[in-house]
Amino acid sequence: MDRRKAFQRISLLLGGMALAPELMAKALADSSASVAAAPPDRLLLLNEMAETIIPETDTPGAKAANVGEFIIHAVETCLPADRRRAFYDGLDRAEAACVSKFGQSFAVCNDNQKTSFFSELEKQPAAEAGMPSFFTALKMLVLHGYFTSEIGATQALNYDPVPGGWVADMVINDQTKAWTPMF
């Protein structure tokens, strides 16, 4: 039940689930608006951003799990039109800021540039009061996309699809991985 609550909270802030009625009416009104197809470099850009948040370590990172593809799917399929636009606007603004700072796309920046840029981006407040900043929204999608991917769920976490029993109390250490949530 905690998990459910945490998940609902994520969805609420992303605008994907429990929308306030006035927002819902707006979302329904907007949902027929045509959406431009994702530019071809958007997948590359999102995968690089995701990899910067969840890099390859002793387990594969977000790029190997193709988290960028999940993010595009989630944004296109799960977000109401206004949240979708807000996310892409945030992405475009971030990319423009990176180009203006380093003279090149985030996708081709080196690791130091990426880290330096995200450290700045992380400090920026949300564009709209009561909504997550672009960086927070991106992190939500990256975390969800990675840890529910086959790579993230089975390698970064402890995947136990058929536990077979319930152990109410087990002692763990600081290297114990979390169980993969199964919803």
Partner 1 sequence: MNLNIDSVKKRTFDAIVVGSGISGGWAAKELCEKGLKTLVLERGRKLDHISGYKTALMAPWDLENRNMHTSSDKEDYHIQSKCYAFNDGTRHLFVSDKDNPYEQKKPFDWIRGYHVGGKSLMWARQTYRWSDFDFESNAKDGYGADWPIRYADIAPWYSYVERFAGINGNKDGLPQIPDGEFLPAIELTVLEKHLQKVIRDNFKGMNLVQGRSANATAAVNGRGPCQFRNLCHRGCPFSAAFASQAATLPAAAVTGNMTLQTDSIVHSVIYDENKKRATGVRVIDASTKEMTEYYAKVIFVNASTVNTTTILLNSESNRFPDGLGNDSGVLGHYLMDHCYRGRAGASYDGFEDHYHKGRRPTGFYIPRFRNILGDKNDNFLRGYAIGGSAERGAAWEGGAWQPGFGADFKNAMSRPGGWGAGFHMQGECLPRYENKLAINKSKTDQYGMPTVEFDAQWSDNETAMLKDGKEVLTAILEKAGFKNIEFYDSNEAPGKGIHEMGTARMGKDPKTSMLNRNNQLHAVPNVFVTDGACMASTGTQNPSLTYMALTARAADFAFKALNKGEI
Q: Site residues for partner 1, window 77-116 (CB under 8 A)? A: 77-81, 115
User: Closer to partner 1 at the Cβ: 40 or 166?
Assistant: 166
Instruction: Kindly state the smallest distance separating residue 100's Cβ from partner 1, in Å.
Output: 21
Which two tokens mark 72? 């595009």
- Rounded CA-CA distance 16/73 in Å is 13
Residue for token digits 């605008």?
15
Q: Which of 45, 47, 70, 86 binds partner 1 (CB under 8 A)?
A: 70
Classify residue 43 by burial, with Cβ atoms within 10 Å: 0-12, 13-18, 19+. Answer: middle
Position 84, amino acid: R
Do 105 and 81 contact (CB within 8 A), yes or no? no
Is residue 6 at the binding interface for partner 1, with CB under 8 A as the rule? yes
User: What would the x/- binding string for partner 1 be over residues 134 to 173, using CB under 8 A?
Assistant: --xx-xx--xxxxxxxx--x--xx--xxxxxxxxxxxxxx
Site for partner 1 in 8-67 (CB under 8 A): 9-11, 16-19, 24, 27-28, 31, 52-55, 57, 61
